[in-house]
Amino acid sequence: MLTELESLSQNIGKLIAISQRHNEARLALEEQLAQSRAEAEATRTELALLREERDALQAERDALSAKIDDAQVRLNAILEKLPRARGHNEPDNQLDLLAPAQHEVAHEAHEDNAGSDVTRHGENA
């Protein structure tokens, strides 16, 4: 009977040791689970912030796109008001943009300069 008690005591000791190992493993797993949950919550928070930032960037992009569209409409309106471009057969004379009186004054000034150049060349010769 003494040997049976010893055997029973050893078995109880083994069961206690096994129970302690299981309890330690359970505690370690619970700690890992708590860390994983904390990481998951931090990831969710970060994800929410990233979504807010994405939404803000999308709103900014949409606003800029609207501004670009508006500017393009204004630019097209301005371009429509400008005089049309001359064709290949039409002369490109910028003096045509001046008033007729200014055109004559500019033409006379050009002739006067040409005449004085001739005079100068004669004097230098």
Average pLDDT over residues 46-66: 98
pTM, two decimals, is: 0.47
Query: Do 33 and 11 reside in the same domain of the chain?
Result: yes
Answer whether residue 2 is part of any domain.
Answer: no
For 87-120, write each residue's pLDDT tens digit: 666 555 555 555 555 555 555 655 555 554 444 4
* Domains in the chain, number: 2
Q: What residue numbers bound the domain in which 46 lies?
A: 7-81
% of the chain beyond a pLDDT of 70: 67
Answer whether residue 11 is part of any domain.
Answer: yes
CA dist 118 and 14 (Å) reads: 126
Answer whether residue 38 is part of any domain.
Answer: yes
Query: Do 26 and 61 reside in the same domain of the chain?
Result: yes
Query: Do 47 and 108 reside in the same domain of the chain?
Result: no
Cα-trace Rg, the chain: 47
Say yes or no to pLDDT of 125 above 50: no
Provide the pLDDT for residue 9.
Answer: 94
Provide the pLDDT for residue 80.
Answer: 92
Residues sharing a CB contact under 8 Å with residue 103, sequence separation 6 or more, in sequence order: 95, 96
